[in-house]
């Protein structure tokens, strides 16, 4: 994908972020300020492309949780690299290990978790670092935008105090200076009346504004990596588009790479340079976003793509993947997707395939029968009902 750097973007005449909290704006007599301009339609083609420098490498990461019912194999052999300014999308159903693998990178898993493998940040293994050194990286070099901003923000402290605390935890400076930086970050993420909003509490913000505040907290120390865990959950599509656009804008502003965790393939299609598909705790497909979406080589990925509503569907019923994900305590033998896979054969039920390169360079899949998907004009055909196939 060719991405020309610094493509100019036409600004909108009115700042739509003000409408995140119209009731508060009306109560305070605020007027839309045409000087508060935002970028519209920001895409990957309009931001700086990734560099060749790799800043994060995860190698064979395994996470297990011992329980009374048995060991939960939450993450099984996850490996990927992340370059400077790159957006890597991680997708999969709930329980596939997306968030757990990223919490392991952040060092936020409970002590009961058994973690193996290597997490290399600029060549240093974070799993071998002391807790003090990990804390020095967390929030400063590697930041996270949590899934639910209402529970991530402290309800009894103002937004300004919480943003200033994120700075003061890593740098010695006057509190007034930290608050000034907090105001700059609120301006950066598009929150109007930033000076006044520093004194607001989380419950006084709308959902979109709270999510922007979380983005501001994540980027306030100019991190190298931003992990965004479902950053648009429970937001309407208009606010979702604004949040995703703001993430891309902030990425260039602080020169950071992004790990975007989501179950929304549409978000990944417009936001990510590469995509990692996970199922039952392990990666099952990895590659550049366009080839993975246009020519999937793993039946699970094809099933996910086939379940998306289409404007050309003519009102036809959605095609969900039959069955449910397996228990991570009692995984089936062989490929964990085999009970739900229309291409499954005996080898699938006895031997788990490894992630290996397919017919195109840089496109990896964990499937014994990826060649059957390659031979199909439309890989989603395997998940169609009999009546649809006949029609």
With a pLDDT cut of 70, the percent of the chain lying above it is 86
How far is Cα 198 from Cα 157, in angstroms, rounded to an integer?
A: 10
pLDDT at 382: 87
Among 9-13, 109-113, 227-231, 296-300, which is the least confidently predicted range? 9-13
293: pLDDT strictly greater than 80:
yes
**The Cα angle at residue 3 between residues 227 and 302, in degrees rounded to 5:** 65
Provide the token pair at 274. Answer: 């590469």
DSSP string over 294-342: HS--SHHHHHHHHTS--TTSTTPPP-PPSS-PPPSSSPPSS-TTGGG-T
10: pLDDT strictly greater than 60:
no
Between 350 and 311, residue with greater pLDDT: 350
Q: With helix as H, strand as E and coil as C, how does 96-111 read?
A: CCHHHHHHHHHCCCCC
Contact at 8 Å (CB) between 91 and 98?
yes
Say how many residues make up the chain.
391
Block residue for tokens 């209402």: 150
pLDDT at 19: 41
Element (H, E) at 226: strand 225-229
Residues with Cβ within 8 Å of residue 15, at least 6 apart in sequence: 32, 33, 36, 37, 38, 190, 192
- pLDDT band at 316, cuts 50/70/90? low
Q: Please state, in angstroms and as integers, the Cα–Cα distance from residue 78 to each residue in 25, 39, 104, 324, 374, following that order.
A: 46, 36, 11, 22, 24
Between 90 and 243, residue with greater pLDDT: 90
Collapse the DSSP code of 271 into the 3-class scheme (helix H, G, I; strand E, B; otherwise coil) and give the result.
helix
Average pLDDT estimate for 36-60 = 77
CA 65 to chain centre: 23
- pLDDT band at 38, cuts 50/70/90? very low
Between 206 and 239, residue with greater pLDDT: 206
pLDDT one-digit tens code per residue, 188-225: 898 999 999 999 999 999 988 999 999 999 999 999 99
Average pLDDT estimate for 47-51 = 87
- pLDDT band at 246, cuts 50/70/90? confident
pLDDT one-digit tens code per residue, 104-142: 999 999 999 999 999 999 999 999 999 999 999 999 999
**By C-alpha distance, which of 262, 198, 269, 181 is closest to 228?**
262
**By C-alpha distance, which of 389, 390, 385, 386 is closest to 322?**
385
Element (H, E) at 268: helix 265-271
Dihedral (CA of 236, 49, 189, 121) sign? positive
Q: How many CA atoms lie within 13 A of 328 on its CB side?
A: 21
pLDDT at 15: 44
* Arithmetic mean of pLDDT over the chain: 85
pLDDT at 383: 83
- pLDDT band at 312, cuts 50/70/90? low
Domain map of the chain by residue range? Answer: 293-390
148: pLDDT strictly greater than 90:
no
**By C-alpha distance, which of 272, 297, 316 is closest to 372?**
297
Q: Please state, in angstroms and as integers, the Cα–Cα distance from residue 46 to each residue in 2, 219, 269, 274, 381, following that order.
A: 10, 20, 15, 17, 34
**30-51: burial string, b at 16+ Cβ within 10 Å, e else:** eeeeeebebbeebebebbbebe
How far is Cα 205 from Cα 68, in angstroms, rounded to an integer?
A: 41
Collapse the DSSP code of 121 into the 3-class scheme (helix H, G, I; strand E, B; otherwise coil) and give the result.
strand
- pLDDT band at 45, cuts 50/70/90? confident
């Amino acid at each position: 994908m060719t991405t020309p750097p610094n493509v100019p973007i036409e600004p909108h005449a009115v700042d739509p972020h003000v409408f995140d909290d119209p009731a508060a704006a009306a109560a305070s007599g605020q007027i839309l300020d045409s000087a508060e301009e935002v970028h519209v339609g920001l895409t990957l083609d309009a931001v700086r492309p990734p560099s060749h420098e790799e800043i994060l490498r995860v190698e064979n990461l395994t996470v297990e949780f011992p329980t009374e019912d048995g060991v939960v194999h939450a993450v099984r052999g996850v490996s990927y690299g992340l370059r400077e300014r790159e957006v890597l999308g991680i997708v999969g159903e709930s329980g596939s290990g997306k968030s757990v693998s990223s919490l392991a990178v952040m060092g936020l898993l409970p002590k009961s978790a058994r973690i193996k493998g290597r997490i290399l940040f600029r060549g240093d293994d974070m799993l071998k670092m002391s807790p003090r050194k990990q804390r020095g990286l967390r929030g400063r070099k590697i930041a996270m935008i949590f899934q639910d901003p209402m529970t991530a923000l402290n309800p009894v402290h103002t937004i300004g105090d919480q943003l200033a605390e994120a700075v003061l935890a890593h740098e010695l400076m006057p509190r007034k200076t930290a608050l000034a930086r907090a105001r700059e970050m609120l301006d950066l993420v598009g929150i109007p009346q930033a000076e006044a909003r520093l004194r607001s509490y989380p419950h006084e913000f709308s959902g979109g504004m709270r999510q922007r505040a979380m983005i501001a907290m994540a980027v306030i120390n100019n991190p190298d990596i931003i992990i965004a865990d479902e950053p648009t959950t429970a937001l309407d599509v208009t606010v979702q588009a604004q949040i995703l656009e703001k993430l891309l804008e902030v990425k260039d502003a602080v020169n950071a790479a992004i790990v975007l965790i989501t179950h929304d393939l549409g978000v990944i299609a417009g936001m990510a340079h590469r995509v990692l598909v996970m199922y039952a705790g392990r990666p099952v497909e990895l590659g550049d976003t366009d080839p993975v979406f246009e020519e999937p080589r793993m039946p699970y990925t094809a099933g996910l793509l086939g379940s998306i509503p289409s404007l050309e569907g003519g009102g036809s019923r959605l095609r969900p993947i039959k069955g449910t994900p397996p228990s991570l305590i009692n995984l089936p033998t062989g490929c964990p997707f085999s009970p739900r896979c229309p291409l499954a054969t005996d080898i699938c039920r006895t031997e788990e395939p490894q992630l290996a390169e397919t017919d195109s360079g840089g496109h990896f899949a964990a499937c014994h029968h990826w060649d059957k998907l390659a031979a199909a004009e439309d890989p989603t055909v395997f998940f169609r009902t009999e009546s649809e196939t006949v029609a």
